[in-house]
């Protein structure tokens, strides 16, 4: 498990996962492995050799209207719910309430008190 407070994962949020996979395959040499999502669609795990390097999330639906394509970093924390509560008390806004991804961990996405978006994750053990 990643140490509390360290960056754990990076994810490209895009509307063109196929284009992104082509770009990163040819510029960096990544390969991709598809992972079905409960909400439908496929999450793409980028791999450098056999090691996971990040992911690609295809932004689909009205909740992403006006959201530019971007990379999103996730910080490992010991308890997503408790850390999110502390962040909110300090002025953060919750963009996505905590949710669980089996085998991955518990995740929340927030806008910090200064306006930057970040993900928090308590990785599955």
Give how far the C-alpha of residue 111 lies from the chain's centroid of Cα atoms, to the nearest Å: 14
Q: What CATH homologous superfamily does 10-70 map to?
A: 2,3-Dihydroxybiphenyl 1,2-Dioxygenase, domain 1 (3.10.180.10)
For 107-123, what is each residue's pLDDT tens digit? 999 999 999 999 999 99
Which DSSP letter does residue 83 get? H
Task: Residue 12: count other Cβ atoms within 10 Å of its Cβ.
Answer: 21
- pLDDT value, residue 20: 98
CATH of 77-125, one of 1.10.10.10, 1.20.120.790, 3.40.30.10, 3.10.180.10: 3.10.180.10
Instruction: Classify 87 as helix, strand or coil.
Output: helix
Between residues 41 and 21, which one has the greater pLDDT? 21
pTM above 0.75, yes or no: yes
pLDDT > 80? residue 44:
yes
Which string of DSSP letters, residue by residue, matches 25-56?
HHHT--EEEEEE-TTSSEEEEEEETTEEEEEE
In the chain, where the domains are located:
10-70, 77-125
CA-CA distances (angstroms) from residue 59 to 13, 55, 67, 69?
6, 13, 9, 8
Work out the average pLDDT over 13-39.
96
pLDDT > 70? residue 1:
no
For 53-66, what is each residue's pLDDT tens digit? 999 999 998 989 99
């Amino acid at each position: 498990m990643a140490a509390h407070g360290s960056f754990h994962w990076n994810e490209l949020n895009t509307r063109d996962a196929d284009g992104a996979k082509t770009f990163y395959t040819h510029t960096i040499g990544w390969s991709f492995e598809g992972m079905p999502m409960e909400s439908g669609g496929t999450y793409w795990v980028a791999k450098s050799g056999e090691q996971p390097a990040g992911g690609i999330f295809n932004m689909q639906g009205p909740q992403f209207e006006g959201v530019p394509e971007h990379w999103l970093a996730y910080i490992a924390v010991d308890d997503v719910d408790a850390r999110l509560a502390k962040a909110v008390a300090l002025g953060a806004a919750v963009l996505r309430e905590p949710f669980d991804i089996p085998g991955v961990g518990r995740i929340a996405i927030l806008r910090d008190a200064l306006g930057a978006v970040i993900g928090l994750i308590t990785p599955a053990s």
